[in-house]
Structure 1
Amino acid sequence: MGDPKHSDGTGQRADLASLRARVRAIERGGAEAGQSVRFPLGHGALDDHLDGGLAMGRIHELVGEARSELRDGSVFGFAAAMLVRLLSAPAARRGGQILWCARDANMFGGAPCGWGLKALGLDPERVLFVRARDEAERLWAMEEGLRCGGLVAVVAELGPARPGEAGRVAERRLQLAAEASGVTGILLRPLANAVTTGVADSRWRIAAAPSGGSMLPSWSVSLERLRGGRPGAWQLLWTAAHGRFRDLEECASPPEEVPEVRPAAAQSAAA
Structure 2
Amino acid sequence: MTHLLDRKAWRDRPKLELAPGLDLARARLHEVCGAARATFALWLATQTEGPVFWIAPSWTPHRLNPDGIADFTSPARFTFISPLRPEDVLWCTEEVLRSGTVSLVVADIPGPPGLTSVRRMHLAAETGATEGKVAPTGLLLTPGTGGAPGIETRWQMEPDHNNEHNRWQLTRLRARTAPVQSWQVSGLPHKARTHPVVTEAICST
TM-score normalized with structure 1 length:
0.63
Which of the numbers 15, 31, 37 marks the counterpart of 2:14?
37
Match of residue 231 from structure 1: 180
CA distance in 2, matches of 1:145, 1:211: 39
1:131 and 1:195 map into 2 onto residues whose CA distance is 23
Checking the alignment, whether the CA contact within 8 Å between 2:183 and 2:194 is kept in structure 1 is no
RMSD value, Cα = 2.6
Q: Which has the higher Rg, Structure 1 or Structure 2?
A: 1
- Select the structure that is richer in strand: 2
Work out whether 1:196 is the aligned partner of 2:162. no
1:76–1:153 CA distance, 2 compared to 1 (3 A): same
Q: What residue is the counterpart of 2:53 in the other structure?
A: 99
Q: In the alignment, is the contact (CA less than 8 A) between 1:104 and 1:111 conserved in 2?
A: no
Larger helix share, 1 or 2: 1
Q: What is the one-letter code of the residue matched to 2:69?
A: L
Does 2:89 correspond to 1:138?
yes
Q: Deviations over 1:104-151 (max 9, x none)?
A: 465xx42112111112x1211011110111321111110110011221
* Residue 75 (str. 1) matches residue 37 (str. 2): yes
Matches within 5 A, 1:248-267: none
AA in 2 matched with 1:185 = G
1:113 matched to which residue of 2? 65
CA contact (8 A) 1:211 1:248 kept: no
* In structure 2, C-alpha distance between the alignment counterparts of 1:124 and 1:21, rounded to whole Å: 33
Q: Distance in 2 between matches of 1:63 and 1:183?
A: 20
Residue deviations 1:45-93 (CA, integer Å, cap 9, x gap): xx2xx4xx2211111100124xxxxxxxx11111101111233xxxxxx
SS at match of 2:48: helix
Q: Is the 8 A contact 2:29 2:137 kept in 1?
A: yes
Q: In 1, distance between residues paired with 2:86 and 2:187? A: 30
Q: How many residues get paired?
A: 191
Q: Is the 8 A contact 1:211 1:237 kept in 2?
A: no
Deviations 1:14-65 (A, max 9, x none): xx97xx2217x9xxxxx93651211211x33xx2xx4xx2211111100124
8 A Cα contact 2:169 2:184, kept in partner:
yes
Partners of 1:188 and 1:142 in 2: how far apart?
12
- The TM-score with structure 2 as length reference comes to 0.82
> SS in structure 2 opposite 1:247?
strand
Unmatched 5+ stretches in structure 1: 1-15, 26-30, 66-73, 88-95, 250-271
State the 4+ residue runs in structure 1 displaced beyond 6 angstroms: none
Question: Of residues 186, 193, 205 in structure 2, which corresponds to 1:245?
Answer: 193
Q: Tell me the percent identity.
A: 24
Q: For the structure 1 residues 105 and 34, does the alpha-carbon distance in structure 2 shift closer, same or farther, using more than 3 Å as the test?
A: closer
CA distance 1:33–1:172, change in 2 (3 Å):
closer
Rounded Cα–Cα distance in structure 2 between residues aligned with 1:206 and 1:34: 27
Gaps of 5+ in 2: 129-134, 198-205
Alignment match of 1:60 (pick from 22, 30, 36): 30
> Aligned letter for 1:195?
G
The separation in 2 between residues aligned to 1:134 and 1:54, in whole angstroms, is 29
Whether contact under 8 Å (1:105, 1:111) holds in the other structure is no
Structure-2 separation of matches of 1:211 and 1:111: 27
Letter in 2 for 1:239: L
